[in-house]
Chains A and B, each alone.
Chain A
Amino acid sequence: MFVDVGEFDARFLRKLKGEFDESHLACFQCGVCSASCPVIGIEAGFNPRRLVKMARLGLKRLTLSSEYIWLCSMCFLCGERCPQGVRIPEVMTALRNLAVEEGYIPEPMKRIRRLLSEAGRLYPIDDFTAEERTDRGLPQIEAEPGFVKRLTGAKP
């Protein structure tokens, strides 16, 4: 992929720095993260080292619109091994959150938000499930936790 460093966006960099985790600033591009990644062997385009570099270059549009920021499996192995202490999965989360703010939201993520804000659960406790729980001697549980709906927020 061709990268135009002229797309540098200083406000994006400041925003990324302002997120909870500033560890990415220490990245020196050794690539231990990519070498440890369980996804890269299956989806060669996914490359955590490259994503951190793109973000560090302030390439806002390229980074936030990339489908690859959504393909980290959150196994946390790269973060354990990074010699510079970069919490790469946390960087992925920060990039995903900023992408959402910019309106880049993959369909499956919209569905997750809808389920949590409307039903309060990813998997509903419907009548069928409730009946099966009773048959198995399992206690009934809150079908639609109200605090989950409210805390999810209703943003589209």
Chain B
Amino acid sequence: MRYALFLGCTTPARQMNYEQSSRAVAEALGVEFIDLPFGCCGFPLEPLDRVRALAMAAQNLRIAAEEGLDIVALCSACAESLVKARWLLSREEGVLRRVNRVLKGELGVEYGGETPRVLHYARMLHEEVGLERIREAVERPLEGLRVAVHYGCHYMRPSEVYEGFEDPERPRSLDELVEATGAESVDYPGKMECCGGALLAMSERIAREMAAGKLRRLSDLGVDALILICPFCAIMYDRYQTLILEEGRVPVLYYPQLLGLALGLKPEELGFDLNAVSVEGLLEKVGAR
């Protein structure tokens, strides 16, 4: 299994624990990542100019197509942006023409319908590696650990562009991935809430309040950890948690950090030193300290 790894903007600069754990876990499972000269997925530019945003996504698709590689994205917003561009450009000729006008004018290239598949990292684990192989690779079952999963939004919505992957309101894949480690995925009110991350630039107040609701409920519920698969969600639930909750803080782990522990990897290989909310108690509980 060989993929082009799409890092996005946030992860390689501000959430290196996600990148570090994702690479370590992939290696442990025999998944090879190739680094290509990708750039912004287009998502931040969409509110300003959707044609240019699509052109940016299309150029990234071209870069992967030239190498004949499918893309694995760490950030859910990047995944959605690339999946949507691929979907839209294969259906809407008018949009394709407008996008190609920009690509031609700025870069002298055209999007010719090259269509590498684009998978979120968690989806790649679920669909390509598979739960069976993950279960077999577990060396330190995380039994007794009760965690809450947060899907976020762009991992499976808009469902139209994801073409039947996951239920847009009752997804299961992340719960199943968690259960493959031996941990329990608990149901909780507000499981499908939005983290507010996409509003952070426009209104810190609204974004923070959106994140606060889920954090307070999880704190009351007393789960061992909140499990994420997107750097935007981590900024809201991990970084901002230190401003939102004075006490009863909830450790926040990226799924590959959780899986990495189950695979027997060392905490230092999984970038835990960069988690904002302390994870020491959890590491002790699973016997990694």
Contacts and interface: CB of A to CB of B under 8 A. Distances in A.
Interface of A: 20, 38-39, 42-43, 70-71, 73-77, 79-80, 87, 89, 93-94, 96-97, 100, 105-106, 108-109, 111-113, 116, 120-125, 129, 132-133, 136-139, 141-142, 145, 147-148, 150-153
A75 B47 contact: no
Contact of B50 (A20, A122, A148): A20
Contact of A80 (B50, B106, B159): B159
A133 B50 CA distance: 32
Contact of B168 (A80, A122, A133): A80
14 contacts: A76-B153, A77-B157, A80-B157, A87-B160, A100-B48, A112-B44, A121-B39, A122-B9, A122-B40, A133-B12, A138-B20, A147-B59, A147-B106, A151-B102
Contacts of B44: 112, 116, 122
Contacts of A39: 199, 206, 210
Contacts of A70: 47, 202
B173 interface: no
B13 A43 contact: no
A2 B124 CA distance: 50
A125 B202 contact: no
Contacts of B46: 93
B38 A138 contact: no
Contacts, number: 154
Given A73-B198, A147-B59, A80 B158 contact: yes
A77 B271 CA distance: 33
A24 B102 CA distance: 26
Given A76-B158, A111-B201, 11 more contacts: A38-B193, A43-B206, A89-B158, A94-B50, A97-B48, A109-B202, A123-B10, A133-B16, A138-B12, A145-B37, A151-B103
A77 B45 contact: no
Contact of A142 (B14, B39, B47, B206): B39
B132 interface: no
A112 B49 CA distance: 12
B154 interface: yes
A97 B50 contact: yes
Contacts of B55: 151
Contacts of A138: 12, 16, 19-20, 23
A116 B54 CA distance: 15
Contact of B7 (A43, A94, A113, A141): A141
Contacts of B284: none
Interface stretch (B87-95, B135-143, B247-255): B87-95
Interface string B222-238: 00000000000000000
A59 B160 CA distance: 30
Most buried by B among A71, A100, A111, A152: A152
Contact of A112 (B16, B48, B169): B48
A73 B157 CA distance: 13
A71 B168 CA distance: 22
